[in-house]
Amino acid sequence: MPLLIGTSLKLYFGRERTSTWSRAVIEDCRTHPAVSEGRVEPFIVPSFLSIPEVAALAEGTPVLVGAQDVHWEEGPYTGEVSAPQLRDFGATLVEIGHAERRRLFGETDETAARKVRAVLAAGLVPLLCVGETERGSAAAAALAGITQLAASLRLALEDGLSGRVIVAYEPVWAIGVAEPAPDAHIRAVCTALRIELDRAGFAADSAVIYGGSAGPGLLGRIAPAAQGLFLGRSAHDPRAMRRILDEALELT
């Protein structure tokens, strides 16, 4: 299975920079052997407003385009965006449960579960973020992640939904800092999450990737326990994305 490598642009870029950055990254992905040989599956998660443009740029390439959030219903929900709308405008992935959403907007495992169910029902792929808030042992982190994962998948499983699920392990204490979590910690937690994901019975191309100050130089130290990277601000320079594609080519 290919490694998943991508990033969320959050709200850092305006329209022009999003377009310039996306063109550069998509062109690298179009021509890089790690992608053309099927060793890496790249993804980009822009802001809602840029999804149609980035999806058009990525058309005909292996680059997946995602959304940074979703609402779990359609109808009278002013300011929200539904899973069918995201699908219609070109999104394939939908990020769910990021630590910022939990901290700033009060999202919980219950809201994540509703969103996972809606996304799978719409034929999209949830990119589900899990991770402990406080630094501790790998065993404690694995237990916290498994608990979040099980709670977030509960409604989809109850409804008999299946499909691909991507889990991004992002320890909250490692987001936006100088260094990622220790390599052995990442490998242990990602392995535990993968076992839980397999136990739940989702599609074989489901994956567990690592985020939390992830950048160049990390992939070779944590794969194959981590099946890819959810990159942070290091990816704002397209050359960093290219370096990680080079690393993936050497690894695989």
- Mean pLDDT, residues 218-240: 96
Q: Which of the pair, 172 or 178, is modelled with greater confidence? A: 172
CA distance 59 to 81: 22
Q: Which residue has the tokens 């160049």?
A: 216
pLDDT of res. 178 = 85
- Mean pLDDT, residues 142-171: 98
What is the per-residue pLDDT across 24-39, written as a single tens digit (0 to 9) for each?
A: 999 999 999 999 999 9
242: tokens are 């290219």
- Mean pLDDT, residues 65-87: 98
Confidence of residue 102 (pLDDT cuts 50, 70, 90): very high
Mean pLDDT (the chain) is: 97
In the residue annotation, 98 being an active-site residue is answered as yes
Phi/psi zone of residue 194: left (φ > 0), alpha (ψ -120 to 50 degrees), beta? Answer: alpha
Set out the domains of the chain in order of their start, with CATH numbers.
Answer: 3-251 (3.20.20.70)
pLDDT of res. 176 = 87
Choose the catalytic residue: 98, 107, 132, 247: 98
What is the per-residue pLDDT across 41-75, written as a single tens digit (0 to 9) for each?
A: 999 999 999 999 999 999 999 999 999 999 999 99
Confidence of residue 87 (pLDDT cuts 50, 70, 90): very high
pTM score of the predicted model: 0.96
**Cβ 208 vs Cβ 167: under 8 Å:** yes
Q: Is the pLDDT of residue 252 over 80?
A: no
CA distance 231 to 242: 12
Choose the catalytic residue: 53, 95, 107, 170: 170
**Cβ 135 vs Cβ 171: under 8 Å:** yes
Q: Is the pLDDT of residue 187 over 70?
A: yes
pLDDT of res. 48 = 98
In the residue annotation, 185 being an active-site residue is answered as no
Q: Is the pLDDT of residue 11 over 70?
A: yes
CA distance 144 to 133: 9
